[in-house]
Amino acid sequence: MSVNLQTPIDYLKGVGPNRADLLRSELGIHTYQDLINLFPNRYIDRTKYYHINELQRNNAEVQVVGVITGFREVAQKRGKRLVADFKDDTGMMELVWFRGQKWIRESLKTNQPYVVFGKANWFNGKFSMPHPEIELQTEHETNLRSAMQAIYPSTEKLSNKGITNRVVSKIMQQLFLETKGQFSETLPQTMRSELKLLSKSQALFNIHFPKSPDLLARAQFRLKFEEFFYIQLQLILKNLIHKSKIKGFKFSKVGDYFNTFYKDHLPFELTDAQKRVLKEIRSDLGSNAQMNRLLQGDVGSGKTIVAFMSMLMGLDNGFQCCLMAPTEILSVQHYNGLYELCKPLKISISLLTGSSTTLERRHIHETLENGDLQLLIGTHALLEDKVKFKNLGLAIIDEQHRFGVAQRSKLWHKGSSQSSQNETDPNEVGGAIVPPHILVMTATPIPRTLAMSVYGDLDISVIDELPAGRQPIKTVHRYDNNRLKVFRFMKDEIAKGRQIYVVYPLIQESEKMDYKDLMDGYDSISREFPMPDYQISIVHGKMKSADKDYEMQRFAKGETNIMVATTVIEVGVNVPNASVMVIESAERFGLSQLHQLRGRVGRGAEQSYCILMTGHKLSNDSKTRLETMVGTNDGFEIAEVDLRLRGPGDIMGTQQSGVLNLRIADVIKDKDILAQARYYAKQVLNLDPSLGLPEHKMILNTYRQMSKYRNIWNYIS
């Protein structure tokens, strides 16, 4: 009879209710399956046995064979420690226990050959080993053992309650005995032959009890590949189902709005990348499926014009469109820019934010519902229940990582919030409610590896070139003692008619300190750049919204030369005349933040500069961040380094990081395996989207089992 891997862990011999409770609460192990998937953190070579006279004073883990010649108790500040004299043919060492002494005393015998394993410390002129793993040599030789000993994840509580690595190893052995080491295969024979993969049973045995380093490496590859393969299969399937099941409005024509704008009003020549992305969007909008696309483009790459032209396709087909941004500053800026583009085309456009007056809101609600209002730009205010569209065809979300899944789904339902039974209602297609097309934009470059894992169910477009005439920003790192030179350089730039940002970090925990830093900085800049020769704006989080906007506007109009600010300017302020960005205490910023801030300059045709100011004391990570910024302007390269430094969970924010709770694979270190797994998952689904072919039966069954017992899929928005 085969053992059911969903059996609760309590029933495994050697576990029992108390240990089961601890394994559940500390390591999330509920079933036999969970235990099998508790993969080791590292391995120790247990093939070598040392003589006592070969031990080195390097505090390493060693294995020694010898006999206990006697025990003694030694008094210490608190209680006593138990010491055993342990000898072999070459010398003598001590074994030491600080707790559990009664049990040790009763269970260990003198003059019997034991194998001890642990850290050898040099203490008082001899070697000692605290709390060694110890077993009779006769038992040691019969145990299910391997050349490399697995070291499992643990917690302080487990160690304190006596669930040591040895105990975990023992219950793992018991599990292999009960299951006879036979586990259901999850990948088809053809794929295993092509990739020369171990079978599932061989891989699991060699991950827990590796027979050799080579078999361990092959076991790790097999299990990592499998983990990535099923995640990719899930994401790609989700995308295919989305396209086949979720109908979208068909934007069947490109009409007057689009063509007139393209021919007569386009402010600059589109880059090849912009043209390519517009084609991808156009093909989505013209199919019968709902578009679900992520548009990535570095700061200043021209995403907004692509978004606007996509909206024009919506208007040409008789639909309304909306654009939602995470902050009021950013939505006001989008509105101002788009308002200018809409004017010659006589398109009605409105702005809805938290600051909109009751009168403005009433007007927006009315004109939205009767269809007179064509484009609506705004913040989260767009999600309010009162906001009802007559026929929303396309919703664009800017900087999507700032919005949760629930907020996005609210926008999704806007297309169908009042489905009248009227046959001409474009929200009703064949009686079914149709959601708007969704285009998500981000200027935070997401490394390919992460995009494949987290956004694998979205289609991804990338604008990977800057508009013509833009020069790369020159970035330098300067220490605080070079400040006078930096001030001189700022004066030279102002003399040429340019403007300058000086940004201070804002870290919530130390708001008082940040505020002080900002004010001290403002004072020293005011002394160095006195009125009336120079005008300075200041913007920080403690100011009222209206005051902030007033200062921002003064800077945008060129009435002030220097803008001293905290990171509130990170997203969206567009001042083409600003050519220098000075970032104070740059070591306190993350890479993506530094990159976003740098993107505030370099928006005009002039050469722009970014100056990273720091003290001399820098951590290794800070040095790496600064070197990366000085070395490249490529957002994707920067994102890859950021991913290495911070890990995937941090970059995605908690709501997205669940997808990366991987059991054995690592999105960063194993990105080649991830790419390979995605390739195979695509091949399988291209050939057989429903997984109905006999050779894919195993994949279908495994996929169903996983969806049933693993909650990883629920994290994917």
Secondary structure string (H, E, C) spanning 336-402: HHHHHHHHHHCCCEEEECCCCCHHHHHHHHHHHHCCCCCEEEECHHHHCCCCCCCCEEEEEEECHHH
Half-sphere exposure of residue 140: CA atoms within 13 angstroms, side-chain side = 20
- 526 occurs within a structural domain: yes
Residue 231 confidence (pLDDT) above 90:
no
- 411 occurs within a structural domain: yes
Residue 533 confidence (pLDDT) above 70:
yes
Residue 94 bridge partners (DSSP):
85, 128
CATH number at residue 135: 2.40.50.140
Residue 401 confidence (pLDDT) above 60:
no
3-state secondary structure of 688: coil
Residue-wise pLDDT for 676-709, tens only, equals 999 999 999 999 999 999 999 999 999 988 777 5
Question: Quick one: what percent of the chain has pLDDT higher than 70?
Answer: 88
Nearest-angstrom CA–CA distance, 304 and 277: 12
User: Which of the two residues, 23 and 248, has the higher pLDDT score?
Assistant: 23
Check: CB of residue 190 under 8 Å from CB of residue 695.
Answer: yes
Nearest-angstrom CA–CA distance, 121 and 134: 17
Q: Are residues 389 and 485 both part of a single domain?
A: no
Q: Are residues 417 and 497 both part of a single domain?
A: no
Residue 289 is given by DSSP the state B
Residue-wise pLDDT for 149-175, tens only, equals 898 998 888 888 888 888 999 999 999
| Final residue of a structural domain among 614, 632, 650 | 632
Q: Domain range spanning residue 376?
A: 256-463
User: Which of the two residues, 637 and 206, has the higher pLDDT score?
Assistant: 206
Average pLDDT for residues 293-316, to the nearest whole number? 90
User: Which of the two residues, 684 and 635, has the higher pLDDT score?
Assistant: 684
Structure tokens that stand for 532 in this block: 């009336």
User: Which of the two residues, 428 and 554, has the higher pLDDT score?
Assistant: 554
Average pLDDT for residues 541-556, to the nearest whole number? 82
Strand 375-378 and strand 562-565: the pairing is unpaired
| Final residue of a structural domain among 587, 613, 632 | 632
Average pLDDT for residues 137-151, to the nearest whole number? 77
pLDDT of residue 599: 84
Q: Are residues 275 and 380 both part of a single domain?
A: yes
- 160 Cβ partners below 8 Å, 6+ apart? none
- Confidence band, pLDDT 50/70/90 cuts, at residue 651: very low
**Pick from 176-185, 334-343, 659-668: least confident:** 659-668
Structure tokens that stand for 106 in this block: 């009763």
Nearest-angstrom CA–CA distance, 436 and 371: 15
Question: Quick one: what percent of the chain has pLDDT higher than 90?
Answer: 47
Q: Are residues 457 and 485 both part of a single domain?
A: no
Q: Are residues 487 and 450 both part of a single domain?
A: no
**Pick from 36-50, 374-388, 389-403, 497-511: least confident:** 497-511
Residue 676 is inside which H or E element, if any? helix 671-687
pLDDT of residue 648: 58
Q: Are residues 438 and 535 both part of a single domain?
A: no
- Confidence band, pLDDT 50/70/90 cuts, at residue 405: low
- 445 occurs within a structural domain: yes
Residue 452 confidence (pLDDT) above 70:
no
**Pick from 274-288, 422-436, 482-496, 571-585: least confident:** 422-436
- 675 occurs within a structural domain: no
CATH number at residue 613: 3.40.50.300
- Please report, for the chain, how many H helices and E strands are present, in that order: 26, 24
Residue 448 confidence (pLDDT) above 80:
no
Check: CB of residue 578 under 8 Å from CB of residue 552.
Answer: no
- How many other CB atoms are there within 10 angstroms of residue 526's CB atom? 15
- Confidence band, pLDDT 50/70/90 cuts, at residue 530: very high
Q: Are residues 416 and 488 both part of a single domain?
A: no
Nearest-angstrom CA–CA distance, 226 and 236: 15
Chain position carrying tokens 């949760």 = 404
Q: Are residues 297 and 445 both part of a single domain?
A: yes
CA 636 centroid distance within chain: 14
pLDDT of residue 569: 59
Q: Are residues 458 and 564 both part of a single domain?
A: no
Residue 127 confidence (pLDDT) above 60:
yes
- 539 occurs within a structural domain: yes
Cα diameter, the chain: 99
- Confidence band, pLDDT 50/70/90 cuts, at residue 189: very high
Average pLDDT for residues 237-258, to the nearest whole number? 86
**Pick from 45-49, 417-421, 463-467, 647-651: least confident:** 417-421
Nearest-angstrom CA–CA distance, 672 and 647: 17
- 328 Cβ partners below 8 Å, 6+ apart? 353, 354, 355, 379, 545
Half-sphere exposure of residue 150: CA atoms within 13 angstroms, side-chain side = 28
- 156 occurs within a structural domain: no
- 588 occurs within a structural domain: yes
Q: Are residues 523 and 603 both part of a single domain?
A: yes
| Final residue of a structural domain among 109, 126, 144 | 144
- Confidence band, pLDDT 50/70/90 cuts, at residue 262: very high
Q: Are residues 328 and 426 both part of a single domain?
A: yes
Counting the structural domains of the chain, the total is 3
Looking at every residue in the chain, the average pLDDT score rounds to: 85
Chain position carrying tokens 């057989």 = 688
Residue-wise pLDDT for 358-387, tens only, equals 999 999 999 999 999 999 999 989 989 899
Structure tokens that stand for 632 in this block: 């490249």
Query: pTM of the full predicted structure?
Result: 0.66
- 668 occurs within a structural domain: no
Residue 570 confidence (pLDDT) above 50:
no
Q: Are residues 270 and 369 both part of a single domain?
A: yes
pLDDT of residue 432: 55
- Confidence band, pLDDT 50/70/90 cuts, at residue 573: low
Residue 65 confidence (pLDDT) above 90:
yes
- Confidence band, pLDDT 50/70/90 cuts, at residue 429: very low
